[in-house]
Amino acid sequence: MVKAKALVLNGYGINCPYETAYAITASGGEAEIRHASEVLGNPTMLQDYNMLVLPGGFSFGDDIASAKVLANRLKYRAKDALQKFVDDEKLVIGICNGFQALVKMGLLPKPDFVQRVTLTYNASGKFEDRWVRLKMNVKSPCVFTKGIEYLDLPVRHGEGRFIPASREILEEMVGKQLTTCYYVNSRGEFADYPFNPNGSVLNVAGVCSENGRIFGLMPHPEAFNHFTNHPGWTRGAAKRGEGLKIFKNAVEHIEANL
């Protein structure tokens, strides 16, 4: 059995590496926090790991656009190593700013370094910081969301509105069940703002690759690593840190398949 070993990216304004690494170790895996400059300077180091994690934050101050600078640096300085990583069917997850980087470098929805979708300014025109409810697409091939129906998680972003480049791209993603999770209200119904905090098309909160091994989402699963993280914990709203389910699925997949 192979041990799940994750590289958690840090540096240049990424600000959630420690919570993310904790979530992985609390789920039974191993996590090493490495500065992005190390990966950019020696991309082959990725081969020492079987999961790559791009945490949330404001990499490079979100200059130009959210995560665009980080995406370009990774694309043009670590492209071959990243391509080998995904070709070897290892796991990749991007959370919030990490999700923005994955779509802008072209690893999602297809890992061919061609951008097909974006995450742009919230329709509300302001930063959104609140807990949301997600409904998972149970037909999705996503490794990370297997067995999860609903999940409460916090969002904290100013550029989280999912928009595809064309109707054809959206239809293909929907047809292949790559739209992995959706913003819904407390009854599990599709609803507009504030339940959809950013105005995403079709309420999309996260997407995956066709093989389900690359996943990006705007809400923060690492921020729900203990039941007391949930705003309703004193009313018994949660008995565990349910965001850990995302990472537990990844660890179990690696142990069973790699």
- Indicate which residues carry an active-site annotation: 96, 220, 222
Distance between CA 4 and CA 145 in Å, rounded? 17
Nearest partner of 4 among 199, 105, 144, 204, judged by Cα: 144
H or E, element range at 228: none
Task: Give Cα 105 distance to the centre of its chain.
Answer: 14
Distance between CA 223 and CA 155 in Å, rounded? 9
Give yes or no for a contact between 182 and 203, defined as CB atoms under 8 angstroms apart: yes
SS3 content of the chain, % helix, strand, coil (to 5): 35, 25, 40
**Tokens encoding 215:** 């996943």
Q: For the chain, where are the E strands, in sequence order?
A: 5-10, 30-35, 51-54, 91-95, 117-120, 128-136, 150-157, 161-164, 179-184, 204-208, 214-217
Task: Give Cα 228 distance to the centre of its chain.
Answer: 22
Cα 155-158-160 angle, rounded to 5 deg:
65
